[in-house]
Chain A
């Protein structure tokens, strides 16, 4: 009797472990499926022309996504130019002022900014930039992406710079180095890998964003290098072509998905690699 009870307990333990393992492995099945289908359908269309040509009109086979690749890069450059300096200096402020009313408020605001749904950011960029300029533009899309990047950069910058030991800073100050030089030449270089990781993570976050671009960058079937004209981007192209009824365009969308997924996952891998190899350690 006693023994039976004991065996029953062990059995329950075993069963629970099996169930947990099965559920855990089931939850990565979607990833396998997604990567499988995207690779299978994407590889078929990707070649040199695909990366260098413009999309062809309906009915013609072939064509590429060069405009979307260039557009995505443009949007990311605009977003980085705006978000990186602002985000890092706000991060420095938070790391330097660990307590205080403003720091508390800023942290709260950054947290809330992080949680704003991307579609709402799209509305904001539309109202702020598109409406006054009366045109959809790469610039407005870049602003939208910059707003989404900011919280990530601020938080990672703060977390990184907090780890820099106070003694390092004090040593510099004791040598008579002014405060701003201490920050710029001692603290920031010491935490550089962390800052770069944060920037890469924030780029990975926004590179695949579609919702904020729907009414800002808008999409464009042609090549455009003008900041104040609509541009295409990879996620927008996937969205627009996936919803179309034409198989040729679906092919382009699969190819673009593959390019986008590889790009985003590479960024994530790189960020992870950096945190492992060049972790800020003291």
Chain B
């Protein structure tokens, strides 16, 4: 009985109900009292989230069945994407996604890490840091289509000029441009995660190092970074998940070419951008189904990345 009461209000309710309202319950239909209707609604809407996720997964799976049956595992390794001949292989898009996301991550890491160190360690209070923090938050709030639009009109000419200087084919659009845009888009995300992780470092550890005469740089390098390395990695994994799923900005500046890119300046297509470009044009069942299968892959990849990243961060917070 004690445990029941200690579980809080619900426990109290159950206790009261079982004690006093027993006769009432038997005479009334339990599904018509406001009490039980309310509880049923809460339960139902919570269950709804689970149902929603599973139906999303099942829908994707069912719609990609024709393509899975037709191509099997060949879908992942074939490099021919030819809607006219009805031959679909997703390799160019897998490679496109892989290169753009990793390149974006590599570009973003120095910036996001600096930001989290600066905001977390050097300047937590004050006008400049709070301005910086708001700016980063705003950067995260800008819609992706705006990034794409801006990239198309401002960044593409710049990249084209660079390409002319380098002596490669000056497309302007392509993997390099999309990676730059993606990097800008994921910096706020990994920076804010990084800052949160930095705050988990126990003050005692830092103070101990300072009291031994370490400079700030040495404290960051030898105490803080080793402590947060898994958390920061997790933050970057989550940022990678963002980059993989990002659609609009990439679609606008990647140049939409369905062959395997030969250099980082070449136009390409990512999994998300090929869906965005071709889904409304897809006429045959197999075509649609192949695009949905790419969507299914995208769904599973981002899901695995997200769960992995969140688990690492959760583990870290529990340790502290």
Contacts and interface: CB of A to CB of B under 8 A. Distances in A.
B46 A106 contact: yes
Contacts of A260: 143, 146
Contacts of A33: 150, 154
Given A119-B295, A173-B9, A13 B139 contact: no
Interface string B160-185: 00000000000000000000000010
Contact of A93 (B43, B139, B144, B306): B43
Interface string B7-41: 01110110000000000000000000011011101
A239 B303 contact: no
Given A112-B307, A123-B60, A154-B49, 16 more contacts: A12-B217, A21-B122, A24-B114, A90-B48, A96-B10, A116-B302, A118-B245, A123-B291, A124-B59, A179-B9, A179-B38, A180-B34, A183-B38, A238-B149, A261-B142, A264-B142
Given A13-B218, A179-B13, A239 B49 contact: no
A208 B144 contact: yes
Interface in A201-253: 204, 207-211, 214-215, 218, 235, 238-239, 242-243, 250, 253
B47 interface: yes
B122 to A, nearest CB: 6
Nearest to B140: A268
A189 interface: no
Nearest to A21: B118
Contacts of B39: 179-180
A127 B252 contact: no
B99 interface: no
B198 interface: no
Interface string B200-218: 0000000000000001111
Given A13-B215, A26-B111, A124-B60, A265 B118 contact: no
Interface of A: 9-10, 12-13, 16-17, 19-28, 30-31, 33-34, 37-38, 85-87, 89-90, 92-94, 96-97, 102-103, 105-106, 108-120, 122-124, 126-128, 147, 150, 154, 166, 169-170, 173, 178-180, 182-183, 204, 207-211, 214-215, 218, 235, 238-239, 242-243, 250, 253, 257, 260-261, 264-265, 268, 272
Interface string B42-54: 1101111110110
Interface residues of B, number: 84
Interface in B106-139: 110-112, 114-115, 117-119, 122, 132, 135-139
Nearest to A147: B52
A180 B33 CA distance: 11
Interface stretch (B71-79, B84-92, B227-235, B273-281): B273-281
B279 A215 contact: yes
B248 A239 contact: yes
A217 to B, nearest CB: 12
Given A21-B118, A115-B302, A150-B52, A178 B215 contact: no
B152 interface: yes
B216 A27 contact: no
B255 interface: no
Which 9 A-B residue pairings sit nearest by Cβ, starting from the closest?
A: A208-B143, A117-B245, A23-B114, A180-B38, A115-B306, A93-B46, A13-B215, A27-B111, A211-B247
A146 to B, nearest CB: 10
B279 A20 contact: no
Interface residues of chain B: helix, strand, loop or mixed (majority): helix
Q: Which of A34, A37, A92, A150 has the most CB of B within 10 A?
A: A34
B149 A28 contact: no
Contacts of A124: 56, 59-60
B48 A180 contact: no
Contacts of A173: 9, 12-13
B295 A24 contact: no
A207 B298 CA distance: 23
Contact of A96 (B42, B137, B148): B42
A203 to B, nearest CB: 12
Given A109-B49, A120-B60, A12 B215 contact: yes
Contact of A112 (B119, B135, B303): B303
26 contacts: A9-B215, A16-B220, A17-B216, A20-B118, A21-B118, A27-B115, A27-B139, A38-B150, A92-B42, A96-B42, A97-B10, A102-B43, A112-B303, A115-B245, A119-B276, A126-B279, A128-B59, A150-B49, A170-B8, A173-B12, A178-B35, A208-B144, A214-B279, A214-B280, A239-B248, A268-B141
A109 B247 contact: no
A261 B139 contact: no
Nearest to A109: B53
A31 B139 contact: yes
A264 B147 CA distance: 14
Contacts of B248: 210-211, 235, 239
A118 B53 contact: no
B34 A106 contact: no
Contacts of A242: 145, 148-149, 152-153, 252
B35 A179 contact: yes
A269 B66 CA distance: 47
A268 B218 CA distance: 37
B279 to A, nearest CB: 5
A182 B35 CA distance: 11
A113 B149 CA distance: 27
Contacts of A113: 49, 52-53, 56
